[in-house]
Chain A
Amino acid sequence: MIEMRGVYKKYPNGIIAANGIDVKINQGEFVYVVGPSGAGKSTFIKMMYREEKATQGTIIINGINIGNLKNSKVPLLRRNIGVVFQDFKLLHKLTVFENVAFALEVIEEHPKYIKRRVMETLDLVGLKHKARMFPTELSGGEQQRVAIARSIVNSPKVVIADEPTGNLDPDTSWEIMKIFEEINTRGTTVVMATHNKDIVNKIKHRVIAIEGGMIVRDEERGEYGYEN
Protein backbone atom coordinates (compact mmCIF):
# COMPACT_ATOMS: atom_id res chain seq x y z
CA MET A 1 0.00 0.00 0.00
CA ILE A 2 2.48 2.59 1.22
CA GLU A 3 6.07 1.51 1.00
CA MET A 4 9.34 3.41 1.48
CA ARG A 5 12.71 1.86 0.78
CA GLY A 6 15.95 3.61 1.65
CA VAL A 7 14.33 7.03 1.47
CA TYR A 8 16.73 9.91 1.93
CA LYS A 9 15.79 13.57 1.82
CA LYS A 10 18.14 16.49 1.94
CA TYR A 11 16.75 20.03 1.66
CA PRO A 12 18.62 22.70 -0.32
CA ASN A 13 19.63 24.33 3.00
CA GLY A 14 21.51 21.16 3.93
CA ILE A 15 19.06 19.80 6.49
CA ILE A 16 18.62 16.03 6.23
CA ALA A 17 14.99 15.30 7.05
CA ALA A 18 14.93 11.64 6.07
CA ASN A 19 17.98 9.48 6.51
CA GLY A 20 17.29 5.99 5.24
CA ILE A 21 13.64 5.31 5.95
CA ASP A 22 12.27 1.80 5.32
CA VAL A 23 8.63 1.25 6.14
CA LYS A 24 5.58 -0.57 4.89
CA ILE A 25 1.99 0.41 5.74
CA ASN A 26 -0.77 -1.93 4.64
CA GLN A 27 -4.19 -1.01 3.33
CA GLY A 28 -6.59 -0.36 6.19
CA GLU A 29 -3.94 0.28 8.84
CA PHE A 30 -4.08 3.16 11.32
CA VAL A 31 -0.62 4.55 12.01
CA TYR A 32 0.54 7.25 14.39
CA VAL A 33 3.74 9.05 13.50
CA VAL A 34 5.38 10.54 16.59
CA GLY A 35 8.63 12.35 17.27
CA PRO A 36 10.00 15.68 18.45
CA SER A 37 9.58 18.81 16.39
CA GLY A 38 12.02 18.92 13.53
CA ALA A 39 12.51 15.15 13.59
CA GLY A 40 11.23 14.76 10.05
CA LYS A 41 7.58 13.78 10.67
CA SER A 42 6.19 16.36 8.30
CA THR A 43 8.70 15.50 5.60
CA PHE A 44 7.83 11.81 6.03
CA ILE A 45 4.18 12.63 5.47
CA LYS A 46 4.72 15.19 2.71
CA MET A 47 6.71 12.71 0.66
CA MET A 48 3.66 10.43 0.59
CA TYR A 49 1.59 12.89 -1.41
CA ARG A 50 4.55 14.23 -3.33
CA GLU A 51 4.53 17.65 -1.74
CA GLU A 52 8.21 16.87 -1.21
CA LYS A 53 10.30 14.66 -3.46
CA ALA A 54 12.72 12.15 -1.97
CA THR A 55 16.36 12.84 -2.82
CA GLN A 56 17.07 9.10 -2.90
CA GLY A 57 15.14 5.91 -2.41
CA THR A 58 11.82 4.49 -3.54
CA ILE A 59 8.32 5.48 -2.44
CA ILE A 60 5.47 3.31 -3.66
CA ILE A 61 1.87 4.42 -3.15
CA ASN A 62 -0.95 2.16 -4.38
CA GLY A 63 1.58 0.24 -6.44
CA ILE A 64 2.96 3.33 -8.17
CA ASN A 65 6.53 4.46 -7.72
CA ILE A 66 5.92 8.15 -7.11
CA GLY A 67 9.59 8.99 -7.41
CA ASN A 68 9.23 8.46 -11.16
CA LEU A 69 5.86 10.16 -11.32
CA LYS A 70 5.63 12.91 -13.89
CA ASN A 71 4.48 16.25 -12.53
CA SER A 72 1.42 16.06 -14.75
CA LYS A 73 0.38 12.85 -12.99
CA VAL A 74 0.69 14.17 -9.46
CA PRO A 75 -2.96 15.34 -9.48
CA LEU A 76 -4.00 11.71 -10.03
CA LEU A 77 -1.98 10.62 -7.00
CA ARG A 78 -3.56 13.34 -4.90
CA ARG A 79 -7.05 12.22 -5.82
CA ASN A 80 -6.34 8.97 -4.03
CA ILE A 81 -4.94 10.61 -0.91
CA GLY A 82 -6.88 12.84 1.46
CA VAL A 83 -4.84 15.34 3.46
CA VAL A 84 -5.83 17.03 6.73
CA PHE A 85 -3.81 19.80 8.40
CA GLN A 86 -3.46 21.34 11.81
CA ASP A 87 -4.70 24.69 10.47
CA PHE A 88 -7.66 23.17 8.56
CA LYS A 89 -6.91 25.06 5.31
CA LEU A 90 -10.50 25.97 4.57
CA LEU A 91 -11.60 28.71 2.19
CA HIS A 92 -13.36 31.30 4.31
CA LYS A 93 -15.31 32.80 1.44
CA LEU A 94 -17.03 29.49 0.73
CA THR A 95 -19.71 27.79 2.80
CA VAL A 96 -19.18 24.44 4.50
CA PHE A 97 -20.93 22.71 1.62
CA GLU A 98 -18.85 24.58 -0.98
CA ASN A 99 -15.60 23.83 0.83
CA VAL A 100 -16.28 20.11 0.69
CA ALA A 101 -17.74 20.25 -2.82
CA PHE A 102 -14.56 22.06 -3.95
CA ALA A 103 -12.62 18.78 -3.86
CA LEU A 104 -15.09 17.18 -6.26
CA GLU A 105 -15.59 20.21 -8.46
CA VAL A 106 -11.92 20.50 -9.32
CA ILE A 107 -11.91 16.90 -10.48
CA GLU A 108 -14.99 17.69 -12.57
CA GLU A 109 -17.54 15.41 -11.00
CA HIS A 110 -21.18 15.75 -11.98
CA PRO A 111 -23.10 18.36 -9.91
CA LYS A 112 -25.82 15.89 -8.93
CA TYR A 113 -23.24 13.42 -7.69
CA ILE A 114 -21.39 16.23 -5.89
CA LYS A 115 -24.52 17.31 -4.04
CA ARG A 116 -25.40 13.81 -2.92
CA ARG A 117 -21.87 12.83 -2.00
CA VAL A 118 -21.10 16.06 -0.09
CA MET A 119 -24.24 15.74 2.00
CA GLU A 120 -23.41 12.09 2.75
CA THR A 121 -19.93 13.06 3.86
CA LEU A 122 -21.12 15.99 5.96
CA ASP A 123 -23.54 13.57 7.60
CA LEU A 124 -20.64 11.27 8.42
CA VAL A 125 -18.78 14.07 10.22
CA GLY A 126 -22.00 15.31 11.84
CA LEU A 127 -22.23 18.68 10.09
CA LYS A 128 -25.12 18.14 7.70
CA HIS A 129 -27.15 20.80 9.51
CA LYS A 130 -24.38 23.39 9.13
CA ALA A 131 -23.83 22.96 5.39
CA ARG A 132 -24.81 26.54 4.62
CA MET A 133 -22.70 28.18 7.27
CA PHE A 134 -19.30 29.74 6.70
CA PRO A 135 -16.15 28.34 8.35
CA THR A 136 -15.74 31.48 10.46
CA GLU A 137 -19.12 30.77 12.07
CA LEU A 138 -17.92 27.37 13.26
CA SER A 139 -15.82 26.22 16.21
CA GLY A 140 -12.29 24.89 15.65
CA GLY A 141 -13.45 21.30 15.98
CA GLU A 142 -16.23 21.84 13.50
CA GLN A 143 -13.82 23.46 11.04
CA GLN A 144 -11.54 20.46 11.33
CA ARG A 145 -14.50 18.19 10.66
CA VAL A 146 -15.20 20.16 7.47
CA ALA A 147 -11.57 19.68 6.48
CA ILE A 148 -11.83 15.96 7.16
CA ALA A 149 -15.03 15.78 5.12
CA ARG A 150 -13.19 17.46 2.25
CA SER A 151 -10.31 15.00 2.52
CA ILE A 152 -12.52 11.92 2.31
CA VAL A 153 -15.28 13.16 0.01
CA ASN A 154 -13.74 11.54 -3.05
CA SER A 155 -13.23 8.25 -1.21
CA PRO A 156 -9.44 8.13 -1.12
CA LYS A 157 -7.66 4.94 -0.11
CA VAL A 158 -5.40 6.87 2.26
CA VAL A 159 -5.99 9.80 4.59
CA ILE A 160 -2.91 11.61 5.82
CA ALA A 161 -3.27 13.96 8.78
CA ASP A 162 -0.54 16.29 10.00
CA GLU A 163 -1.30 17.05 13.66
CA PRO A 164 -5.05 17.32 13.09
CA THR A 165 -5.75 17.94 16.78
CA GLY A 166 -2.85 20.33 17.30
CA ASN A 167 -5.12 23.39 17.51
CA LEU A 168 -7.97 21.77 19.38
CA ASP A 169 -8.90 21.33 23.04
CA PRO A 170 -8.89 17.77 24.48
CA ASP A 171 -12.65 17.16 24.26
CA THR A 172 -12.81 18.30 20.68
CA SER A 173 -9.73 16.24 19.88
CA TRP A 174 -11.55 13.09 21.01
CA GLU A 175 -14.46 13.91 18.71
CA ILE A 176 -12.09 14.33 15.80
CA MET A 177 -10.41 11.01 16.67
CA LYS A 178 -13.78 9.28 16.61
CA ILE A 179 -14.23 10.43 13.05
CA PHE A 180 -10.81 9.15 12.03
CA GLU A 181 -11.64 5.83 13.69
CA GLU A 182 -14.87 5.69 11.72
CA ILE A 183 -13.03 6.43 8.49
CA ASN A 184 -10.50 3.73 9.32
CA THR A 185 -13.12 1.08 10.10
CA ARG A 186 -14.51 1.68 6.59
CA GLY A 187 -11.22 0.44 5.19
CA THR A 188 -9.30 3.68 4.63
CA THR A 189 -5.65 3.77 5.64
CA VAL A 190 -4.98 6.56 8.15
CA VAL A 191 -1.51 8.00 8.71
CA MET A 192 -1.48 10.61 11.46
CA ALA A 193 1.41 12.67 12.75
CA THR A 194 0.62 13.77 16.28
CA HIS A 195 2.00 15.16 19.53
CA ASN A 196 -1.08 14.08 21.48
CA LYS A 197 0.16 11.56 24.05
CA ASP A 198 -3.29 10.84 25.57
CA ILE A 199 -4.79 9.89 22.27
CA VAL A 200 -1.91 7.66 21.20
CA ASN A 201 -1.90 5.84 24.51
CA LYS A 202 -5.69 5.39 24.77
CA ILE A 203 -6.66 4.63 21.20
CA LYS A 204 -4.06 1.98 20.50
CA HIS A 205 -2.64 1.66 17.00
CA ARG A 206 0.67 1.13 15.33
CA VAL A 207 3.20 3.81 16.36
CA ILE A 208 6.12 4.88 14.21
CA ALA A 209 8.60 7.09 16.07
CA ILE A 210 10.88 9.29 13.97
CA GLU A 211 14.00 11.04 15.17
CA GLY A 212 16.75 12.65 13.18
CA GLY A 213 15.12 11.54 9.95
CA MET A 214 15.15 7.87 10.97
CA ILE A 215 12.53 5.45 12.27
CA VAL A 216 13.71 4.68 15.80
CA ARG A 217 10.73 2.57 16.84
CA ASP A 218 7.87 0.85 15.03
CA GLU A 219 5.39 -1.04 17.21
CA GLU A 220 1.96 -2.54 16.74
CA ARG A 221 -0.35 -1.09 19.42
CA GLY A 222 2.52 1.06 20.68
CA GLU A 223 2.82 3.72 23.33
CA TYR A 224 3.56 7.41 22.77
CA GLY A 225 7.18 8.32 23.22
CA TYR A 226 10.58 8.48 21.57
CA GLU A 227 14.16 7.99 22.66
CA ASN A 228 14.96 11.45 24.05
Chain B
Amino acid sequence: MSGMKNGVNTDMKIRTLRRHIKESLRSVGRNGWMTFASISAVTVTLLLVGIFLVLMMNLNKVAGDIEKDVEIRVHIDLTATEEDQQALRNEISAIPEVESIEFSPKDRELNNLMESLGEDGKVFSMFEQDNPLNDVFIVKAKEPQDTMMIAEKIEKMAFAHKVKYGQGTVEKLFKFINVSRNVGIVLIAGLLFTAMFLISNTIKITIVARSREIEIMRLVGATNSFIRWPFFLEGLWLGILGSIVPIILISVIYKYVIDYADTKLAGHFIQLLDFSPFIYQVSGLLILMGALIGVWGSLMSVRKFLKV
Protein backbone atom coordinates (compact mmCIF):
# COMPACT_ATOMS: atom_id res chain seq x y z
CA MET B 1 0.00 0.00 0.00
CA SER B 2 2.49 2.65 -0.98
CA GLY B 3 3.10 5.16 -3.65
CA MET B 4 0.76 7.03 -5.88
CA LYS B 5 -2.20 5.12 -7.19
CA ASN B 6 -4.28 6.90 -9.77
CA GLY B 7 -2.91 10.18 -8.55
CA VAL B 8 -4.34 9.77 -5.05
CA ASN B 9 -1.74 9.24 -2.40
CA THR B 10 -2.54 5.81 -0.97
CA ASP B 11 0.24 5.72 1.60
CA MET B 12 -1.40 4.62 4.81
CA LYS B 13 0.02 6.88 7.45
CA ILE B 14 0.28 5.57 11.00
CA ARG B 15 -1.79 8.56 12.07
CA THR B 16 -4.49 7.59 9.61
CA LEU B 17 -4.49 3.99 10.78
CA ARG B 18 -4.84 5.20 14.35
CA ARG B 19 -7.75 7.37 13.26
CA HIS B 20 -9.43 4.40 11.56
CA ILE B 21 -8.97 2.21 14.63
CA LYS B 22 -10.31 4.92 16.93
CA GLU B 23 -13.17 5.59 14.55
CA SER B 24 -14.11 1.90 14.28
CA LEU B 25 -13.96 1.36 18.05
CA ARG B 26 -16.05 4.45 18.63
CA SER B 27 -18.60 3.14 16.16
CA VAL B 28 -18.69 -0.24 17.91
CA GLY B 29 -19.52 1.55 21.14
CA ARG B 30 -21.89 4.04 19.57
CA ASN B 31 -24.03 1.50 17.75
CA GLY B 32 -24.99 -0.23 20.99
CA TRP B 33 -27.80 -2.55 20.03
CA MET B 34 -26.65 -3.11 16.46
CA THR B 35 -23.25 -4.06 17.78
CA PHE B 36 -24.87 -6.39 20.26
CA ALA B 37 -26.97 -8.01 17.52
CA SER B 38 -23.97 -8.49 15.24
CA ILE B 39 -21.84 -9.93 17.99
CA SER B 40 -24.68 -12.23 19.04
CA ALA B 41 -25.01 -13.54 15.49
CA VAL B 42 -21.31 -14.34 15.37
CA THR B 43 -21.46 -15.81 18.86
CA VAL B 44 -24.31 -18.18 18.10
CA THR B 45 -22.77 -19.30 14.84
CA LEU B 46 -19.30 -19.81 16.23
CA LEU B 47 -20.71 -21.62 19.24
CA LEU B 48 -22.51 -24.08 16.96
CA VAL B 49 -19.54 -24.38 14.64
CA GLY B 50 -17.22 -24.79 17.61
CA ILE B 51 -19.31 -27.50 19.25
CA PHE B 52 -19.61 -29.27 15.94
CA LEU B 53 -15.91 -28.98 15.37
CA VAL B 54 -15.09 -30.41 18.77
CA LEU B 55 -17.55 -33.28 18.26
CA MET B 56 -16.21 -34.04 14.79
CA MET B 57 -12.58 -33.95 15.81
CA ASN B 58 -13.30 -36.24 18.75
CA LEU B 59 -15.39 -38.55 16.63
CA ASN B 60 -12.48 -38.73 14.25
CA LYS B 61 -10.12 -39.46 17.09
CA VAL B 62 -12.36 -42.15 18.58
CA ALA B 63 -12.95 -43.62 15.15
CA GLY B 64 -9.20 -43.69 14.67
CA ASP B 65 -8.78 -45.45 18.01
CA ILE B 66 -11.40 -48.01 17.09
CA GLU B 67 -9.93 -48.47 13.66
CA LYS B 68 -6.55 -49.11 15.23
CA ASP B 69 -8.12 -51.68 17.49
CA VAL B 70 -9.71 -53.65 14.69
CA GLU B 71 -8.01 -57.02 14.50
CA ILE B 72 -8.54 -60.22 12.64
CA ARG B 73 -8.71 -63.36 14.70
CA VAL B 74 -7.76 -66.41 12.69
CA HIS B 75 -8.86 -69.61 14.42
CA ILE B 76 -6.42 -72.32 13.46
CA ASP B 77 -7.84 -75.68 12.53
CA LEU B 78 -7.49 -78.21 15.37
CA THR B 79 -5.91 -80.71 13.04
CA ALA B 80 -3.07 -78.41 12.08
CA THR B 81 0.40 -79.51 13.02
CA GLU B 82 3.08 -77.07 14.08
CA GLU B 83 4.46 -77.09 10.53
CA ASP B 84 1.00 -76.33 9.17
CA GLN B 85 0.67 -73.44 11.63
CA GLN B 86 4.06 -72.09 10.60
CA ALA B 87 3.07 -72.35 6.92
CA LEU B 88 -0.17 -70.46 7.61
CA ARG B 89 1.72 -67.82 9.55
CA ASN B 90 4.18 -67.35 6.66
CA GLU B 91 1.36 -67.16 4.19
CA ILE B 92 -0.43 -64.45 6.23
CA SER B 93 2.78 -62.49 6.72
CA ALA B 94 3.23 -62.49 2.98
CA ILE B 95 0.12 -60.33 2.52
CA PRO B 96 1.63 -56.87 2.01
CA GLU B 97 -1.14 -55.02 3.89
CA VAL B 98 -0.54 -56.99 7.09
CA GLU B 99 1.27 -55.10 9.79
CA SER B 100 1.66 -57.68 12.54
CA ILE B 101 0.75 -61.20 13.37
CA GLU B 102 0.68 -62.60 16.87
CA PHE B 103 0.17 -66.15 18.05
CA SER B 104 -2.23 -66.70 20.93
CA PRO B 105 -2.28 -70.33 22.16
CA LYS B 106 -5.60 -71.83 23.15
CA ASP B 107 -4.72 -71.75 26.89
CA ARG B 108 -4.41 -68.02 26.75
CA GLU B 109 -7.67 -67.80 24.83
CA LEU B 110 -9.42 -69.77 27.57
CA ASN B 111 -7.94 -67.56 30.27
CA ASN B 112 -9.07 -64.45 28.42
CA LEU B 113 -12.55 -65.89 28.05
CA MET B 114 -12.76 -66.82 31.74
CA GLU B 115 -11.48 -63.41 32.79
CA SER B 116 -13.92 -61.57 30.58
CA LEU B 117 -16.82 -63.47 32.16
CA GLY B 118 -15.66 -62.85 35.73
CA GLU B 119 -17.27 -65.03 38.40
CA ASP B 120 -19.36 -66.94 35.87
CA GLY B 121 -16.22 -67.73 33.89
CA LYS B 122 -15.09 -70.13 36.59
CA VAL B 123 -17.40 -72.83 35.23
CA PHE B 124 -15.04 -73.04 32.27
CA SER B 125 -12.20 -74.11 34.52
CA MET B 126 -13.27 -77.72 33.95
CA PHE B 127 -12.04 -77.28 30.37
CA GLU B 128 -8.53 -76.53 31.55
CA GLN B 129 -7.62 -80.20 31.12
CA ASP B 130 -9.28 -80.61 27.76
CA ASN B 131 -9.36 -77.19 26.08
CA PRO B 132 -11.90 -77.13 23.21
CA LEU B 133 -10.74 -73.74 21.91
CA ASN B 134 -8.54 -73.13 18.91
CA ASP B 135 -5.11 -71.61 18.77
CA VAL B 136 -5.45 -68.16 17.26
CA PHE B 137 -3.41 -65.83 15.08
CA ILE B 138 -4.20 -62.18 15.82
CA VAL B 139 -3.57 -60.21 12.63
CA LYS B 140 -3.47 -56.42 12.35
CA ALA B 141 -3.71 -54.51 9.14
CA LYS B 142 -1.47 -51.57 8.32
CA GLU B 143 -4.53 -49.62 7.19
CA PRO B 144 -7.72 -50.46 9.09
CA GLN B 145 -9.70 -50.05 5.88
CA ASP B 146 -7.90 -53.11 4.45
CA THR B 147 -9.15 -55.37 7.23
CA MET B 148 -11.96 -56.91 5.22
CA MET B 149 -9.82 -57.59 2.21
CA ILE B 150 -7.15 -59.28 4.34
CA ALA B 151 -9.77 -61.34 6.13
CA GLU B 152 -11.12 -62.57 2.81
CA LYS B 153 -7.66 -63.65 1.68
CA ILE B 154 -6.97 -65.52 4.91
CA GLU B 155 -10.28 -67.31 4.77
CA LYS B 156 -9.16 -69.12 1.61
CA MET B 157 -5.96 -70.40 3.21
CA ALA B 158 -5.48 -73.97 4.44
CA PHE B 159 -6.01 -74.60 8.17
CA ALA B 160 -7.72 -71.26 8.66
CA HIS B 161 -10.73 -72.66 10.45
CA LYS B 162 -12.58 -69.43 11.11
CA VAL B 163 -11.76 -65.79 10.44
CA LYS B 164 -13.35 -63.21 12.69
CA TYR B 165 -13.01 -59.42 12.66
CA GLY B 166 -16.41 -58.26 13.84
CA GLN B 167 -17.98 -58.70 10.42
CA GLY B 168 -20.72 -56.17 9.82
CA THR B 169 -19.78 -54.05 12.81
CA VAL B 170 -16.57 -52.82 11.24
CA GLU B 171 -18.25 -52.01 7.95
CA LYS B 172 -21.02 -50.15 9.76
CA LEU B 173 -18.55 -48.22 11.83
CA PHE B 174 -16.56 -47.11 8.80
CA LYS B 175 -19.74 -46.09 7.03
CA PHE B 176 -20.96 -44.17 10.08
CA ILE B 177 -17.69 -42.29 10.38
CA ASN B 178 -17.67 -41.34 6.72
CA VAL B 179 -21.29 -40.18 6.75
CA SER B 180 -20.75 -38.16 9.93
CA ARG B 181 -17.71 -36.44 8.45
CA ASN B 182 -19.60 -35.41 5.34
CA VAL B 183 -22.70 -34.30 7.23
CA GLY B 184 -20.47 -32.30 9.57
CA ILE B 185 -18.70 -30.52 6.76
CA VAL B 186 -21.98 -29.64 5.06
CA LEU B 187 -23.50 -28.38 8.31
CA ILE B 188 -20.49 -26.24 9.19
CA ALA B 189 -20.46 -24.73 5.71
CA GLY B 190 -24.18 -23.98 6.00
CA LEU B 191 -23.79 -22.36 9.41
CA LEU B 192 -20.90 -20.21 8.26
CA PHE B 193 -22.86 -19.03 5.27
CA THR B 194 -25.82 -18.13 7.47
CA ALA B 195 -23.60 -16.19 9.84
CA MET B 196 -21.95 -14.25 7.05
CA PHE B 197 -25.35 -13.36 5.69
CA LEU B 198 -26.47 -12.19 9.13
CA ILE B 199 -23.36 -10.09 9.70
CA SER B 200 -23.58 -8.62 6.26
CA ASN B 201 -27.13 -7.55 6.96
CA THR B 202 -26.41 -6.22 10.42
CA ILE B 203 -23.49 -4.15 9.25
CA LYS B 204 -25.59 -2.96 6.34
CA ILE B 205 -27.98 -1.44 8.86
CA THR B 206 -25.04 0.13 10.69
CA ILE B 207 -23.88 1.61 7.43
CA VAL B 208 -27.32 2.91 6.50
CA ALA B 209 -27.32 4.68 9.85
CA ARG B 210 -24.02 6.23 8.84
CA SER B 211 -24.83 6.87 5.21
CA ARG B 212 -24.77 10.61 5.88
CA GLU B 213 -21.23 10.35 7.12
CA ILE B 214 -20.23 8.36 4.06
CA GLU B 215 -21.97 10.87 1.81
CA ILE B 216 -20.06 13.73 3.39
CA MET B 217 -16.78 11.84 3.21
CA ARG B 218 -17.31 11.34 -0.49
CA LEU B 219 -18.25 15.01 -0.94
CA VAL B 220 -15.09 16.29 0.68
CA GLY B 221 -12.94 13.96 -1.40
CA ALA B 222 -12.16 10.94 0.77
CA THR B 223 -10.92 7.99 -1.26
CA ASN B 224 -12.95 4.81 -1.22
CA SER B 225 -10.28 2.91 0.66
CA PHE B 226 -10.24 5.63 3.30
CA ILE B 227 -13.99 5.28 3.70
CA ARG B 228 -13.82 1.49 3.72
CA TRP B 229 -11.16 1.08 6.41
CA PRO B 230 -13.21 1.93 9.53
CA PHE B 231 -15.97 -0.44 8.39
CA PHE B 232 -13.45 -3.14 7.64
CA LEU B 233 -12.05 -2.74 11.15
CA GLU B 234 -15.51 -2.56 12.71
CA GLY B 235 -16.38 -5.88 11.08
CA LEU B 236 -13.12 -7.30 12.34
CA TRP B 237 -13.82 -6.21 15.92
CA LEU B 238 -17.40 -7.55 15.80
CA GLY B 239 -16.15 -10.91 14.52
CA ILE B 240 -13.40 -11.17 17.11
CA LEU B 241 -15.68 -10.02 19.95
CA GLY B 242 -18.24 -12.57 18.78
CA SER B 243 -15.71 -15.37 19.15
CA ILE B 244 -14.95 -14.69 22.81
CA VAL B 245 -18.04 -16.26 24.39
CA PRO B 246 -17.89 -19.42 22.24
CA ILE B 247 -14.22 -19.89 23.08
CA ILE B 248 -14.83 -19.54 26.81
CA LEU B 249 -17.91 -21.77 26.78
CA ILE B 250 -16.29 -24.46 24.68
CA SER B 251 -13.12 -24.44 26.78
CA VAL B 252 -15.02 -24.72 30.05
CA ILE B 253 -17.43 -27.37 28.80
CA TYR B 254 -14.67 -29.38 27.18
CA LYS B 255 -12.61 -29.29 30.34
CA TYR B 256 -15.62 -30.62 32.24
CA VAL B 257 -16.39 -33.29 29.61
CA ILE B 258 -12.81 -34.45 29.50
CA ASP B 259 -12.61 -34.80 33.30
CA TYR B 260 -15.88 -36.73 33.28
CA ALA B 261 -14.84 -38.92 30.38
CA ASP B 262 -11.51 -39.69 32.01
CA THR B 263 -13.24 -41.38 34.92
CA LYS B 264 -15.80 -43.13 32.71
CA LEU B 265 -13.50 -44.25 29.95
CA ALA B 266 -10.58 -45.18 32.20
CA GLY B 267 -9.06 -48.44 31.04
CA HIS B 268 -10.79 -48.32 27.66
CA PHE B 269 -8.87 -47.96 24.49
CA ILE B 270 -11.07 -45.00 23.56
CA GLN B 271 -9.77 -41.59 24.58
CA LEU B 272 -10.91 -38.05 23.87
CA LEU B 273 -8.46 -35.48 22.52
CA ASP B 274 -6.35 -33.82 25.21
CA PHE B 275 -7.36 -30.30 26.23
CA SER B 276 -4.03 -28.89 25.11
CA PRO B 277 -3.27 -28.17 22.34
CA PHE B 278 -6.64 -29.17 20.90
CA ILE B 279 -8.76 -26.46 22.51
CA TYR B 280 -6.13 -23.80 21.74
CA GLN B 281 -6.23 -24.81 18.10
CA VAL B 282 -10.04 -24.72 18.10
CA SER B 283 -9.95 -21.29 19.78
CA GLY B 284 -7.54 -19.94 17.20
CA LEU B 285 -9.72 -21.29 14.44
CA LEU B 286 -12.83 -19.68 15.96
CA ILE B 287 -11.14 -16.27 16.24
CA LEU B 288 -10.03 -16.58 12.64
CA MET B 289 -13.51 -17.57 11.51
CA GLY B 290 -15.07 -14.71 13.48
CA ALA B 291 -12.65 -12.23 11.94
CA LEU B 292 -13.29 -13.52 8.43
CA ILE B 293 -17.06 -13.49 8.89
CA GLY B 294 -16.97 -9.93 10.23
CA VAL B 295 -14.65 -8.55 7.59
CA TRP B 296 -16.45 -10.26 4.76
CA GLY B 297 -19.82 -9.10 6.05
CA SER B 298 -18.74 -5.48 6.38
CA LEU B 299 -17.01 -5.33 3.00
CA MET B 300 -20.07 -6.84 1.34
CA SER B 301 -22.33 -4.16 2.75
CA VAL B 302 -20.03 -1.17 2.29
CA ARG B 303 -19.52 -1.96 -1.38
CA LYS B 304 -22.83 -0.66 -2.63
CA PHE B 305 -22.42 2.61 -0.75
CA LEU B 306 -19.22 3.40 -2.56
CA LYS B 307 -20.53 3.81 -6.06
CA VAL B 308 -19.14 7.18 -7.09
> A76 and B8: CB pair below 8 A?
yes
> B212 and A91: CB pair below 8 A?
yes
Asked if B81 lies at the interface with its beta carbon under 8 angstroms from chain A, I say no
Given A71-B308, A72-B6, A73-B6, also A89-B220 (CB < 8 A): no
Complex: how many Å from CA A108 to CA B222?
9
Choose, from A15-23, A55-63, A99-107, A200-208, the stretch at the interface.
Answer: A99-107
Q: Which of B5, B19, B223 counts the most A-chain CB atoms under 10 A from its CB?
A: B223
> A76 and B221: CB pair below 8 A?
yes
Which B residues lie within 8 Å of A49 (CB)?
Answer: 219
Per-residue 0/1 for B190-233: is the Cβ within 8 Å of any A Cβ (1 yes, 0 no)?
00000000000000000000001101111111111011000000
Given A108-B16, A111-B15, also A73-B220 (CB < 8 A): no
Per-residue 0/1 for B1-32: is the Cβ within 8 Å of any A Cβ (1 yes, 0 no)?
00001111100010110010000000000100
Asked if A128 lies at the interface with its beta carbon under 8 angstroms from chain B, I say no
Range, interface on chain A: 20 to 34
Q: How many whole Å from B287's CB to the nearest CB in chain A?
A: 31
Complex: how many Å from CA A112 to CA B194?
46
Asked if A124 lies at the interface with its beta carbon under 8 angstroms from chain B, I say no
> A78 and B221: CB pair below 8 A?
yes
In the complex, which of the residues B216, B217, B308 contacts A74, with contact meaning CB atoms closer than 8 Å? Answer: B308
Complex: how many Å from CA A89 to CA B15?
26
In the complex, which of the residues A73, A83, A106, A107 contacts B7, with contact meaning CB atoms closer than 8 Å? Answer: A73
Residues of B contacting A: mostly: helix
Asked if A93 lies at the interface with its beta carbon under 8 angstroms from chain B, I say yes
Given A50-B308, A73-B7, A111-B15, also A91-B213 (CB < 8 A): yes
> B308 and A89: CB pair below 8 A?
no
Per-residue 0/1 for A62-93: is the Cβ within 8 Å of any B Cβ (1 yes, 0 no)?
00000000111111111100010000010101
> A107 and B222: CB pair below 8 A?
yes
> B216 and A72: CB pair below 8 A?
no
Complex: how many Å from CA A71 to CA B223?
10
Q: Residue of A at shortest CB range from B5? A: A72
Which B residues lie within 8 Å of A83 (CB)?
Answer: 219
Range, interface on chain B: 20 to 34
Q: Which of B9, B19, B30, B308 counts the most A-chain CB atoms under 10 A from its CB?
A: B308
> B223 and A75: CB pair below 8 A?
yes
Q: How many whole Å from A18's CB to the nearest CB in chain B?
A: 19
Complex: how many Å from CA A215 to CA B19?
45
Which B residues lie within 8 Å of A74 (CB)?
Answer: 308
Q: Residue of A at shortest CB range from B16? A: A108
Q: How many whole Å from A189's CB to the nearest CB in chain B?
A: 17
Given A72-B8, A73-B7, A76-B7, also A107-B221 (CB < 8 A): yes
> B220 and A107: CB pair below 8 A?
yes
Given A73-B6, A73-B7, A111-B15, also A106-B215 (CB < 8 A): no
> A108 and B8: CB pair below 8 A?
no
Q: Residue of A at shortest CB range from B306? A: A71
Asked if A150 lies at the interface with its beta carbon under 8 angstroms from chain B, I say yes
Complex: how many Å from CA A49 to CA B216?
13
Which A residues lie within 8 Å of B227 (CB)?
Answer: 106
Complex: how many Å from CA A70 to CA B221?
14
Q: How many whole Å from B169's CB to the nearest CB in chain A?
A: 65
Which A residues lie within 8 Å of B222 (CB)?
Answer: 75, 106-107
Complex: how many Å from CA A174 to CA B30?
38
Of all A-B residue pairs in the complex, the 7 with the closest CB atoms, nearest first, are: A106-B222, A79-B221, A78-B221, A103-B220, A72-B6, A71-B308, A75-B221
10 new A-B contacts, CB < 8 A, other than A78-B220, A91-B213, are A49-B219, A75-B8, A75-B221, A75-B223, A79-B220, A79-B221, A89-B219, A91-B212, A93-B30, A102-B220
Q: A residues touching B (Cβ–Cβ < 8 Å)? A: 49-50, 70-79, 83, 89, 91, 93, 102-103, 105-108, 111, 150, 154
30 A/B residue pairs, CB under 8 Å, sorted by A: A70-B6, A71-B308, A72-B5, A72-B6, A72-B224, A73-B6, A73-B7, A74-B308, A75-B8, A75-B221, A75-B222, A75-B223, A76-B8, A76-B221, A77-B221, A78-B220, A79-B220, A89-B212, A89-B215, A91-B216, A102-B217, A103-B221, A106-B220, A106-B222, A107-B220, A107-B222, A108-B9, A108-B13, A108-B15, A111-B15
